[in-house]
Amino acid sequence: MECEFPTVNSNKEEMKEIFNTVKTIAILGLSPNESKASHRVAKYLQEAGYRIIPVYPKEEIILGEKVYRSLAEIPLEVDMVDIFRKPAAFDAIADACIARGDVKVFWGQVGLVNNDAAQKAKDAGIKVIQNYCAMVEHRELI
């Protein structure tokens, strides 16, 4: 797979605004394995006061929260989607975010970039961040 440079991205000021306004974060690819980055980041965000919603193909409960199999299944409002999935999955994730109508932020973690999907989300009015760690940025900005 070829690495992609993010051409669609938010800046640090927008990130700070995002952290100050979002309340509910769906974590796509949230592993129950405590050694995985997705678990550490979700736990950090949860401890920072955000409601996290795990999206994972297995498990019933992760970090004390009910696990959903897809973004579409979540019955609660979702402010931000934090993605720990391969960039090839971003197109379908962008479509799911747009279909929901409540997602304000599409966040691809460090090393994860798909500019076509990001542009699609941005064109739908969703703020986009790619190739940044939500935990690292939150620690730095808040």
* Structural domains in the chain, sorted by start: 12-141 (3.40.50.720)
The whole-angstrom distance between residue 42's C-alpha and the CA centroid of its chain comes to: 10
What is the torsional sign of CA 72, 27, 138, 109?
Answer: negative
The set of residues, in sequence order, having a beta carbon less than 8 Å from that of 119 and lying 6+ positions away, is: 8
Mean pLDDT of 97-119: 96
Look at residue 8 and tell me whether its pLDDT is greater than 70: yes
Q: Are 82 and 41 in contact (CB under 8 A)?
A: yes
- Per-residue pLDDT tens digits for 27-61: 999 999 999 999 999 999 999 999 999 999 999 99
Question: Amino acid identity, residue 58?
Answer: K
Q: Tell me the C-alpha to C-alpha distance, in Å, between residue 97 and each of 19, 61, 79, 101.
A: 18, 23, 10, 7
Give residue 1's pLDDT band: very low, low, confident or very high (50, 70, 90).
Answer: very low
pLDDT band at residue 3, thresholds of 50, 70 and 90?
Answer: low
Residue 80: strand pairing partners:
25, 105
Question: For residue 113, which phi and psi values (nearest 5 degrees)?
Answer: -140, 135
> Which position has the token pair 């009910």?
66
Rounded to whole angstroms, the Cα distance separating 14 from 36 reads: 27
**Span 104-113, average pLDDT:** 95
Q: pLDDT tens digits for 60-78?
A: 999 999 999 999 999 999 9
